[in-house]
Amino acid sequence: MNVIIRRKNILLILLITLVSIVEPRSEDTNHMRMVDSLLLVLNNNFNINISSVDSISHEVMRTAKLLKNDSLIAELHFIIGQRLHSRGEYPKSYNNFMQALQIFERKNDFYNTAKVYRMLGESNRATNNFELATKFLDKSIEIFLKLNDSTMLASTYNRKAAVYYEYFKIDSMLKYIRLSNDMIDTSSSNIRIMSNNFNILGAYYMREGSFNEALHNYRKAENILSKIDSDDDRSNLLINMSILYTRLGQYEKAVEIALIAYRNALESGISAYLIGSSDALSVSYERLGKYDSAYFYKNICMHKKEEILGAKNTQHLLNVQKDYEEKQRKKQSIAEEQITFYKLTALIAIATLLLIVIIILYHRQIELKRKKNDLETKNRIINEQKLELSELNANKDLLFSIIAHDLKNPISSMQSIASLFVDEYFSLSHKEKNEFLNDIIFSAKSANHLLDSLHLWSRSQRNLIDLFPETFNLHELVEDTYSILITQIRNKNQNFDNTIPVHVQFSSDVNMVSTILRNLISNAIKFTHENGKIVVSIDYEDEDTIVIRVTDNGTGMNETTIKNLFKPGLRNTVPGTNNELGSGLGLMICSDFCKKLNGNIRAESVLGQGSSFIVTIPKIKNIETD
């Protein structure tokens, strides 16, 4: 390969010498012949070194200026820009592209204008300016669509897919790969584009961790490239395959492939591939434990990246783009100024008329808005009153239902047991009398507990419960609640676990928090089988909020029951695992108290596996302590 390159450079020197001996007085046809020859060499040989490019460009530019041929000058700028771009000389290539663009646009050469836009998009993609890259590529696509050039459309769609791959916009990437493939026929230039499409897809799947799919696409690309002579495209593919083999743990294979890509990059002088291959080699050698080699290639990679993507180069590209846009704005401004004067008078007249109409409409709109706001305010008040009335009616119905049913049961039971006790008193044994008395006591306690709950709920509904914040130990509060309910827990031989750390201090209304915990733990005892487990824990805590969770492995609930747990006026009175009865007031009191503490309560449950009630309560700050 190096011998071939040297021969090409010797040929170039001969051509340059031939052009140099042509006198300015020679006929234009001789100049044109020389220019065409040199442009052909430039256009077909990517492996020309930088000094050769500079020499050829100087000779062609000198001759083109003698001929006063703008098209040749623009074509030269474009070709030189391509060569410099391939070697990472982005500021120089950008300058050449911009000079070519100005000439092509002035001459209305749409095809070449679109080609320059495509390369400007690729230059901005290479320097990670994806927004500007998309802008230039869209301009290129717009022109190629009008020209119906399927080959250039396929190529430009491919470049836009590459932008979206690096931009992490996967749907757009896949869209433009499909568009590119739709434009491809069986010519060698087009199947190169198809290879690039498979290469992008492989890179995408590799990034997503789908290594088999990535390798499948890379091999498709490799199969296509084996049919044509394209070392540059093969280098890019080999770099990606080396990265993939590294991720698959096949480090020796990764090094073997990356070395081929690295040598090709050195011969072609394409900086992007030199960076990619040296970076891949650095990673693979590091995995193999060959740290000297890893450091060597990492140093090459970092040096080349800084050389290409340094801040000065990036700023230079932005300055070139800014200068171009400024010239375009000035050109457009001159044309617009000629039209502006003729439009100004008409616009003033129209504006005056519109102003009058706007003022009239504005006053009408203000009046309509005022009326609308008044109506919305009245409707909101009515809806709030309607909702409040609905909740009051639901609560009233619930209260009557509890009094009529739940309170009636223990009182009726107590009355029946007492009557039977009196009638059979003298025929009963001492043990039977004690059983009767215990049943009466149990019924009296049930009625009293229900009356206490009704009283507490009633006071909460009428806002008669005041908030008294204080700082207390949450672990100890749970332990106190456990001691109150220990008899119920022992009767069902349940395991109770308080996992709240002993040091947790909490600032809130201790009575309300205690009532919430007592109801939730009592509820868990009720719906947990014998030998079951109940856990009280903290889900989350910060300086503002604490989240308490009460979990059991009991009967659980279905989705419908969960949705209706905290709805006003709805009772959830399912018997417990030992047919324990309840009023449904416990969860309602928990919900009311959570609201008063500016918190909330919710439930999670799986039917047959258990339930969790999660209480979120904000901490009350600035509490004065003695």
Q: Give one DSSP letter per residue of 347-367, joined into a string.
A: HHHHHHHHHHHHHHHHHHHHH
The answer to whether residue 568 scores a pLDDT higher than 80 is: no
The alpha carbon torsion through 417, 411, 493, 487 (nearest 10 deg) reads: -100
Q: pLDDT band for 18, please (50, 70, 90 cuts).
A: very low
From residue 139, how far is each of 320, 332, 552 by CA, in Å? 18, 18, 64
Give all strands (DSSP E) within 130-178, no chain letters.
Answer: none
Cβ neighbors of 404 (< 8 A, separation 6 or more) are none
Record the tokens describing residue 162, joined without a space. 């590459």
The answer to whether residue 212 scores a pLDDT higher than 60 is: yes
Pairing of strands 533-541, 495-498: parallel
Record the tokens describing residue 474, joined without a space. 């949450």
For position 7, what pLDDT does the model report? Answer: 46
Which strands sit side by side in the sheet containing 533-541, from one edge to the other? 495-498, 533-541, 545-552, 610-618, 600-606
Q: Are 105 and 113 in contact (CB under 8 A)?
A: yes
Residue 499 sits at the vertex; the CA angle it makes with 493 and 500, to the nearest 5 degrees, is 130
Question: Burial, 580: exposed, middle or buried (Cβ in 10 Å; 0-12, 13-18, 19+)?
Answer: middle
For position 184, what pLDDT does the model report? Answer: 82
Q: Which residues of 341-378 are buried (b: 16+ CB within 10 A; e: fewer)?
A: eeeeeeeeeeeeeeeeeeeeeeeeeeeeeeeeeeeeee
Q: pLDDT band for 51, please (50, 70, 90 cuts).
A: low
Angstrom distance (rounded) from CA 265 to CA 274? 5
User: Alpha helices of 45-69 — where are they, by DSSP H?
Assistant: 50-67
For position 22, what pLDDT does the model report? Answer: 41
Pairing of strands 610-618, 545-552: antiparallel
Residue 266 sits at the vertex; the CA angle it makes with 265 and 267, to the nearest 5 degrees, is 90
The answer to whether residue 525 scores a pLDDT higher than 50 is: yes
Q: pLDDT band for 19, please (50, 70, 90 cuts).
A: very low
Q: pLDDT band for 12, please (50, 70, 90 cuts).
A: very low
Indicate the DSSP class of residue 402. Answer: I
Cβ neighbors of 314 (< 8 A, separation 6 or more) are 127, 129
Name the residue among 202, 195, 112 with its Cα closest to residue 152: 112
The answer to whether residue 601 scores a pLDDT higher than 90 is: yes
Count of all residues that appear for the chain in the document: 626
Greatest CA separation for the chain = 148
Indicate the DSSP class of residue 467. Answer: P
| Phi/psi at 550 (5° precision) | -115, 115
Angstrom distance (rounded) from CA 391 to CA 544? 31
Bridge partners of 603? 613
Give the number of other CB atoms < 10 A from CB of residue 237. 25
Cβ neighbors of 455 (< 8 A, separation 6 or more) are none
Give the number of other CB atoms < 10 A from CB of residue 1. 11
Q: What pLDDT, in 10s, does the model give residues 25-45? A: 344 444 445 555 555 555 555
**pLDDT mean over 581-610:** 85
Give the number of other CB atoms < 10 A from CB of residue 286. 17
Angstrom distance (rounded) from CA 591 to CA 600? 7
For position 447, what pLDDT does the model report? Answer: 62
Query: For 34-38, 85-89, 499-503, 536-540, which range has the lowest pLDDT when averaged over its residues?
Result: 34-38
The answer to whether residue 308 scores a pLDDT higher than 70 is: no
Angstrom distance (rounded) from CA 483 to CA 203? 63
Q: Which residue has the tokens 């010519």?
A: 187
Q: Are 523 and 535 in contact (CB under 8 A)?
A: no
Q: Are 145 and 123 in contact (CB under 8 A)?
A: no
Angstrom distance (rounded) from CA 229 to CA 246? 27
From residue 58, how far is each of 20, 39, 70, 526 by CA, in Å? 11, 12, 15, 94
Give the number of other CB atoms < 10 A from CB of residue 574. 14
